[in-house]
Structure 1
Amino acid sequence: MASLSHHGLRQLRTIVCLVPRNLFPNHYNSRGRHITHKQIMSQPDKMGRFIEAMKTVYGPFDELSSDNANDWIPPDNPGAGGHRGRYLWTDAFGVVNFITLFKETAKPKYLTLAKRLVVTVHDILGHTRDGKKRLDGATDEEPLVGGLRIGKLDASGSDGDGQYHHYLTLWMFALNRLSIAAGEREWNDLGIQLARAIHPRFLVHCLSGGVKMVWKISMDMKSVLVPSEGHLDAATGYVVYKLMQTTASKQGHRNDVLQQEINDYWNLMSRKGSMSPGTDFLDLGMGLWMCHIWRDEPWAIKFRSKALPKAEELLDSTSVMMQRSAARRLAFREFGTCVGVSCSDASEELQDQVEDLLQFWGKHLDRGDGEDDLKPISRVMYATGLVVGAFRRGYLEDEVD
């Protein structure tokens, strides 16, 4: 999953905005810990904050008419915070969040905005940095055969541009959600096109005869930039590729359109020790999100049973991290845990901990001075943390097996 270095982010100072809490009578939880009930945000309150968070990245889109939405160009300033205003991870959240808005409000313009954002990302991150040509191998007929750039601000260097597997699979998920929400197979087909193109580039054969994954490859997909494996890259590949294949089957494709790739990921994730949940907020949260999609499979049940207690420990008000000031924490990573827990069958106590965390960050994000580098990713993931919506399987119609 994404680490701080993935985003090229420096830990920034967050200005504290103190807002009095609304306190209710104290009591003890099932563990005997003294806790305090706080006022819970209503769904309308959450949707209001959801929209405001998205507007800080994508501008006053809520003011657009349906006709204007058809011509909307996602802003590049502030934009998603990457090269020419686009960053693949952030915009993947943006697409899914627009789909959530479409579902929650029944306003078709939000589905239009999701499509417009997808087209813009493909136009920018599917081209070379100078914008003069598509990435190697891509054509107008097959625009994603060359993959999609990360969107790093720098072209090269230790935190330069390239392609990340976990960003690409998250984008495939966004395309799949758009396909289902719109009832249009072309978006899932694009995800499959991308999946087939990048799969052999991230799997390398070892001298020992085995196969392993790599974490980062070059923009043209011809060289490996970081040879280490992403912690849950294989599992996420399995989950998302299987999801796209299932959707494709329902949409009229042959049943095994991605089966070989799915088998490859399964073999990799079945290695001993490869499926242990991490203790990093983002890694743990995205792991919970990933496994909820196939929640009834034995590996997912086992992963969730280990991950949820870890989430409880991380989010406990007495934990080391929760005792730190906002200036010493990274909001977007903690929102990853919020998303994962909200997509899981978590206990009421754990859900309350997520609510507390969102209220904590809501107060600090209201100011956000000095967080320019972090702002886009923090805001879109905050929105998702408030209302996971289309990130949760079963939220959209006609998708549950």
Structure 2
Amino acid sequence: MDTAAYGIPHASRLMTDFAERTGLVGSRRSSRRYLWTDAFAVCNFLELARLTGDSRYLELARHLVDEVHHVLGRYRADDARVGWLSGLDEREGEAHPTRGGLRIGKTLPERQPDEPPDDELEWDRDGQYFHYLTKWMHALDQVSRATGDPRFNLWARELAEVAHAAFTRGPPGRRRMVWKMSTDLSRPLVSSMGQHDPLDGLITCVQLEATSALLPGAAVGPEPRRAVEDFAALLRVTDVRTVDPLGLGGLLSDAGRVAQLGASEAFRDGALLERLLAAALEGLSLYPLYGEGSQPASRRLAFRELGLAIGLSSIGWIQPAVGGRPLQRLRSFAALGSELVSFWLAPEHQAVRSWTEHRDINEVMLATSLIPEGFLVLEGSSGPVGVARDGFRPDPRG
């Protein structure tokens, strides 16, 4: 089966439905925004624009960026505080919408300073997540790479600066990160460190620097070199191995970005790519023992499994940078990605509560798994993008 021929119309339907359902287009009075989902959605719209030549998708990507900044870059409607999270006035806030970070978009307001922690309730409370911010930085950067407009890269670099300052704490040699911060970035809500946060921070900051160097007339703004140093130091003492499907997919997606950014000073020796592939291969070999593949759809979370499928699609972008046994082992897991996508394409599996309760994130990531290049490919990077465009990608229908 021609994967692209099948994936484009299906992904287009998924993304059109998402845009209407969440108030991006149509007659809904309010825009329902969630940062992680919207980051993938921006990349999907960019890819649909590239694949179809239809400029409406590019306009949807730009409009979604604007909506996210105006909804998640400002305080909630039920918050006593008003305006931009940064505290900037309206004019400056419009010019620098990411200067205060971006809310997650959870249904409940953040935990107040006098409220006791509740581990279960915290999942539904608002605030800021570092790994969501890095996803948005990546989405903004992809808009700059696709359009040549340096503003989006500038906003991503400004977001990187504020995120690094807020989430990374402690003196040199004893620095660490926190998992979740308050909406105004004034206090930690969850003090433990996200396992892959230093990794995401390092790769994303290197990517933003690389893009800024590529763009003619790039705006003067923050240079994330201090952040790169901090994240690299934290990563040296962080175990990135995992059997979680979303985490494994992240490792593979990150490996694809490192392969494309391989000419950068931070990744030139190949050590990080080798480390990520070793961790991913170990996790993939153990995944059948810990994964949910034998469970019914009602006991599985689609977006986590689709994250792994998206990561497995990056094999084509990793391929030119590696060879021999590691590549052969990676390719041996490609069928897993096809199986996961095929499973979640089945209408009966989309009828279960675990799908319908997370419909937005599930459908957007399903669309990404069908047209993954918008999320995975760094247009114009110094990596082998031309090879990757024609590289291996698993058929999602099996």
**TM, length-normalised to structure 2:** 0.79
Distance 1:279 1:313 in 2: 7
Of 49, 53, 62, the residue aligned with 1:102 is: 49
Partner of 1:133: 83
Q: What does 1:80-229 align with in structure 2 at a 5 Å threshold?
A: 84-130=31-77, 132-138=82-88, 139-157=93-111, 158=122, 159-205=124-170, 210-229=174-193
Q: What does 1:365-384 align with in structure 2 at a 5 Å threshold?
A: 367-370=350-353, 371-384=355-368
Unpaired runs of 5+ residues, structure 1, are 1-39, 62-71
Q: What does 1:2-401 align with in structure 2 at a 5 Å threshold?
A: 40=1, 42-59=3-20, 73-74=24-25, 84-130=31-77, 132-138=82-88, 139-157=93-111, 158=122, 159-205=124-170, 210-251=174-215, 252=217, 257-271=223-237, 274-295=238-259, 296=262, 297-314=270-287, 321-344=292-315, 345=319, 347-364=330-347, 367-370=350-353, 371-394=355-378, 396=379, 398-401=380-383
The answer on whether the counterparts of 1:146 and 1:220 sit within 8 Å (CA) in structure 2 is yes
Report the structure, 1 or 2, having the larger helix content.
2
The answer on whether the counterparts of 2:252 and 2:280 sit within 8 Å (CA) in structure 1 is yes
Distance 1:349 1:129 in 2: 47
Partner of 2:324: none
AA aligned to 2:7 is: K
The answer on whether the counterparts of 2:249 and 2:307 sit within 8 Å (CA) in structure 1 is yes
Partner of 2:265: none
Percent sequence identity over aligned pairs: 30
Tell me the CA shift for residue 54 of structure 1.
1.8
Q: What SS does the aligned partner of 1:292 have?
A: helix
Distance 1:230 1:243 in 2: 20
AA aligned to 1:127 is: R
Residue by residue, what CA displacement relative to the aligned partner does 1:109-137 show, whole Å, maximum 9, x if unpaired? 21111000000000000110028411133
Q: What SS does the aligned partner of 1:137 have?
A: coil
Range with greater deviation from structure 2 (124-133 or 367-376): 367-376
Partner of 2:396: none
Unpaired runs of 5+ residues, structure 2, are 112-121, 263-269, 320-326, 384-398
Distance 2:291 2:177 in 1: 33
AA aligned to 2:87 is: G
For CA contacts below 8 A with separation 6 or more, give which structure has more relative contact order: 1
Distance 1:343 1:349 in 2: 14
The answer on whether the counterparts of 1:96 and 1:114 sit within 8 Å (CA) in structure 2 is yes
Q: What SS does the aligned partner of 1:152 have?
A: coil
Judging changes above 3 Å, is the alpha-carbon distance between structure 1 residues 256 and 165 closer, same or farther for their aligned structure 2 residues? closer
Distance 1:188 1:328 in 2: 39
Judging changes above 3 Å, is the alpha-carbon distance between structure 1 residues 149 and 319 closer, same or farther for their aligned structure 2 residues? closer
Tell me the CA shift for residue 309 of structure 1.
4.5
Residue by residue, what CA displacement relative to the aligned partner does 1:136-177 show, whole Å, maximum 9, x if unpaired? 334233221111000011003423110000000000000000
Judging changes above 3 Å, is the alpha-carbon distance between structure 1 residues 94 and 75 closer, same or farther for their aligned structure 2 residues? farther
Tell me the CA shift for residue 278 of structure 1.
0.8
**TM, length-normalised to structure 1:** 0.78
Tell me the CA shift for residue 362 of structure 1.
0.5
Tell me the CA shift for residue 310 of structure 1.
2.4
The answer on whether the counterparts of 2:241 and 2:282 sit within 8 Å (CA) in structure 1 is no
Alignment: residue pair count: 341
AA aligned to 2:154 is: D
